[in-house]
Chain A
């Protein structure tokens, strides 16, 4: 029996401004004071990973690099730390996108987890290699929370694409 492409229904084409808006919103969520709470996910990494999987022709390493620079400056981190991690995340996510999209949502989240975890671990390794302080294990909880958020994030970020432009009762799909 052929495997079914269950995770994909027919969607409207994505609007570029919505991608832009969602990435900005993710950055805003990262700037909130809640970012200090332990286990807060890196919203930018999550949304960037989502769009790299879904729309790898529109969102790729260039976006990862620019968002990385912005996060570096906003965090007061060493320049290049987020850039490196986000560029690698965007690359792996887009190269795995055809494989990831084949799975149902819960399994997609499992496939995405190593990518998000690697983003966090890479940053920690970069900073520890140059003599920073170990941030504590709470730092590594974020990616797991982000994995759980993959399902609601998919729903929210695809919401504008579900609606047909004009409601037509005789339309086949």
Chain B
């Protein structure tokens, strides 16, 4: 091929034009942004990158935890003793209830059997240590030190000693990400203890929660306790979630605005317990076929039921 009209020799090695590269990279990043947000199908990519990044992140967290350790070491005998006393006192306070708990549970089980009501499921789980909060300023998430290796799966609820903290949303090999209940639009199905009314509580993103879609004349008072209703098949019923702190009843709107604060130390550091997944709920009864007006909707519902 030693012709006369050969291409000029490559004096300057150049890649593709910058603008072409820019278009390519922007297209790729926007594509993965949309795919990750809408279809959540990039978890394998995320997990494989996390496998590389995770050790580095742990190393970066070491100085902070060393300082914490030193602080607690230097805290001294006195404060530890007071804490110990307080704990003993608290233990004594709860002792009467705890000692009768076993008996109460047995009694409850027997009575439920007597009434032919399904037994309550027992809660079990594993304690995990919070490693750090995720740096993303747009959401409220924490990272804990157990992951796929410990058998944790996405969707499991997390509680602390006071109440519900959040829900596992992503699992990595050695860590898991828990979305707090105060994260924007994080949803927990709840029940008002005083009246037994069911509802759904939404995170607001500013450390508060809102009880939405309650009519303006609903029987809700400041100080009402909300516990998980258990209707979702994820949270066991009866865990405290939030307490109502403020109610705005405006006749211009059909719904009242009800603000709550979480009961668990959602923004605290420490340990959380990741509860094991619940047993699957019994299947929903089939829809009545004679409605007839929405053939499309019915097909979708049938498909969903087949999957379950």
Is B141 close to A, CB under 8 A? yes
User: Given A79-B33, A133-B205, A36 and B135 touching (CB < 8 A)?
Assistant: yes
Within 15-50 of B, Cβ neighbours of A (below 8 Å) are at: 18, 21-22, 25-26, 28-37, 42, 45-46, 49-50
Cα of A105 to Cα of B89 in the assembled complex, Å = 63
Q: Which of A31, A76, A133 contacts B141 (CB 8 A)?
A: A76
| Size bin of chain B's contact surface | 35 or more
Is A112 close to B, CB under 8 A? no
- Interface stretch (choices B57-65, B191-199, B219-227, B257-265): B57-65
Contact indicator per residue, chain A 15-35, by CB within 8 Å of chain B (1) or not (0): 000000000000110111101
Is B132 close to A, CB under 8 A? yes
Contacts of A131 in B (CB 8 A): 184-185
Is B102 close to A, CB under 8 A? no
Cα of A76 to Cα of B25 in the assembled complex, Å = 21
Q: Tell me if A132 and B138 are in contact (CB < 8 A).
A: yes
Q: Tell me if B135 and A83 are in contact (CB < 8 A).
A: no
Q: Tell me if B139 and A79 are in contact (CB < 8 A).
A: no
Is B90 close to A, CB under 8 A? no
Is A158 close to B, CB under 8 A? no
Contact indicator per residue, chain A 76-100, by CB within 8 Å of chain B (1) or not (0): 1111110110011001001100000
Cα of A28 to Cα of B132 in the assembled complex, Å = 14
How many Å from the CB of A135 to the closest CB on chain B?
Answer: 4
How many Å from the CB of A12 to the closest CB on chain B?
Answer: 22
Q: Tell me if B33 and A33 are in contact (CB < 8 A).
A: no
How many Å from the CB of A40 to the closest CB on chain B?
Answer: 10
Is B53 close to A, CB under 8 A? yes
Secondary structure type dominating chain A contacts: helix
Q: Which of B36, B137, B204 contacts A139 (CB 8 A)?
A: B137
User: Given A70-B49, A75-B136, A65 and B28 touching (CB < 8 A)?
Assistant: yes
Which residue among B28, B29, B134, B206 has the maximum number of chain A CB atoms within 10 Å of its CB?
Answer: B29
Contact indicator per residue, chain A 51-65, by CB within 8 Å of chain B (1) or not (0): 000000000111011
Cα of A80 to Cα of B33 in the assembled complex, Å = 5
Q: Which of B30, B50, B60, B143 contacts A80 (CB 8 A)?
A: B30
Contacts of B298 in A (CB 8 A): none
Starting from the known contacts A33-B63, A83-B32, A131-B185, 14 additional A-B residue pairs (CB-CB under 8 Å) come to A28-B59, A32-B63, A33-B132, A62-B25, A65-B29, A69-B49, A76-B134, A78-B33, A84-B33, A87-B25, A124-B138, A132-B138, A132-B139, A133-B183
7 A-B residue pairs with CB within 8 Å: A60-B18, A61-B21, A73-B50, A73-B53, A79-B45, A131-B185, A136-B137
